[in-house]
Amino acid sequence: MIQEKKRKNGKMNLEKGIPFLLLVISIVSILTTIGIVFTLIFETFTFFDQVSIKEFLTAKKWYPFSETEGTFGILPLVSGTVKVTVIATIVAVPIGLLSAIYLSEYASERTRRIIKPILEVLAGIPTIVYGFFALTFVTPLLQKMIPSLEIFNALSPGIVMGIMIIPMIASLSEDALSSVPSSLREGALAMGSTKFEVSWKVVMPAAISGIIASIVLGISRAIGETMIVAVAGGSTPNLGLDITSSIQTMTAYIVQVSAGDAGYGTTIYYSIYAVGFTLFLFTLVMNLLAQFISRKFREEY
Q: Which of 63-72, 82-91, 170-179 has the lowest mean pLDDT?
A: 63-72
Residue 63 phi/psi, 5-degree rounding, is -125, 75
Q: What is the mean pLDDT of residues 272-284?
A: 87
pLDDT at 46 (0 to 100): 85
pLDDT at 264 (0 to 100): 72
Q: Using a pLDDT cut of 70, give the percent of the chain over it.
A: 90
The domain limits of the chain are 2-49, 71-296
pLDDT at 13 over 70: no
Q: Can you tell me the distance from the alpha carbon of 134 to that of 236, in angstroms, rounded to the nearest whole number?
A: 17
CATH of domain 71-296: 1.10.3720.10
Provide the b/e sequence for 184-221 (b: ≥16 CB within 10 Å): bbeebeeeebeeeebbeebbbebbebbbbbbbbbbbbb
Provide the b/e sequence for 128-157 (b: ≥16 CB within 10 Å): eebbebbbeebbeebbeeeeebbebbbbbb
pLDDT at 265 over 80: no
Q: Please, which pLDDT band fits residue 284 given cuts at 50, 70 and 90?
A: confident
Q: Can you tell me the distance from the alpha carbon of 234 to that of 247, in angstroms, rounded to the nearest whole number?
A: 5
Q: Please, which pLDDT band fits residue 2 given cuts at 50, 70 and 90?
A: low
Which tens digit of pLDDT belongs to each residue from 77-131?
888 899 999 999 999 999 999 988 888 888 878 888 888 788 877 777 888 888 8
pLDDT at 299 (0 to 100): 59
pLDDT at 195 (0 to 100): 81
Four-point Cα dihedral 126, 150, 240, 249, nearest 10: 20
Q: Please, which pLDDT band fits residue 159 given cuts at 50, 70 and 90?
A: very high
Q: Please, which pLDDT band fits residue 221 given cuts at 50, 70 and 90?
A: confident
Q: Please, which pLDDT band fits residue 175 given cuts at 50, 70 and 90?
A: confident
Half-sphere exposure of 76 (CA within 13 A, CB side): 21
Q: What is the mean pLDDT of residues 25-35?
A: 87
Average confidence score pLDDT of the chain: 82
pLDDT at 11 over 70: no
